[in-house]
Amino acid sequence: MIKSKTRILLIYTGGTIGMVKDFKTGSLKAFNFKNLLDRIPELQLLDCNIDTVSFKNPIDSSNMKPEYWVQIAEIIETNYNKFDGFVVLHGSDTMSYTASALSFMLENLAKPVIFTGSQLPIGDLRTDAKENLITSIQVASMQYKGKPAIKEVCLYFEYKLYRGNRTIKLNAEHFQAFASLNYPDLAESGVHLKINYEYLFKPNLRKKLKVNKNLDENIAILKLFPGISKAVIESVLNSANLKAVILETYGAGNCTTEKWFIDILKITISQGIHIINITQCSGGSVMMGHYETSSTLLKIGVISGKDITTEAAVAKLMYMLGQNISGNTFKTIYEAPLRGEMT
């Protein structure tokens, strides 16, 4: 019996990987996605069948927003039973946000969804697009005992495969643009493609895919800095329709202990607005109560974001608010890992 080839769906949303230079203006603009496949004849050497679908109007990732996350999720939902894996081409600037969001939206995912892109356009002589795309498709088509080897939302860039909701964009100029500072790499591409199976997410395979499309955008990020004024903090916390705030604190979750600051947070929490404490540091974790300067936050009911990234914190908040989870249940669920986004 001849083993059938795996089927991969390539989803193009926009981004540098599918752009060309406009010779009149010198700026980059999106081009017809079908030309992308013409520019990489090596794709025909891969042992899988590749189908493609593109956003009708490809977007720069700076314009990414939740309604586009829903579009990507719906494309995967519609094609879920026809394909063994999915590769999403996306601009790098907001890729970590989108990968994080999709990890929460695609509940009980049992197939790979690999995000990738590039720092240079596909037509550039020194482009990183070809390797990123080819290896992403290879990773998405990997099978183990007739089933997809990877069953989660990932991000592949410059020889490394990461859990999507653990990534941050660390560099705007280097090819190695992304990092996962609080969780090990899932795979590394060298002469051989080495998968770190012990770190892969293991979903409940008895449950069917559920696509969560309700996302609530009524959130804010408040980054603390020495000298931040009461007026600035109040202007953020008094925003109309606000439901949750991500508080970026110092180090292991520390903040000023001045009475006016703590009182504002207490009032905000008493109004039913959730406050999540995450660290400003690229790596590491919030440990509320470890220092005196964070023990007060613990007492007044601030939620610990532990070692979650800002990108995943945003996505998890929008997802959970969309589920209408309230009160103490919200705190319990937020502080627990749902898709491997925190330790």
Report the catalytic residues: 16
Rg of the chain over Cα atoms, rounded to whole angstroms, equals 21
Which tokens belong to 234? 């109040």
d(CA 161, CA 180): 10
Please choose, from the candidates 269, 232, 274, 277, the residue with its C-alpha nearest in 3D space to the C-alpha of residue 251.
277
Please choose, from the candidates 273, 275, 282, 277, the residue with its C-alpha nearest in 3D space to the C-alpha of residue 293.
277
CB atoms within 10 A of CB 245: 24
Conformational region of residue 278, where left means phi above 0, alpha means psi within -120 to 50, and beta covers everything else: beta
Contacts by residues 146-149 (CB-CB < 8 Å, ≥ 24 positions apart): 147/110, 148/84, 148/85, 148/110, 148/111, 148/112, 149/112, 149/195, 149/197, 149/200
Question: Which residue type sits at 219?
Answer: I
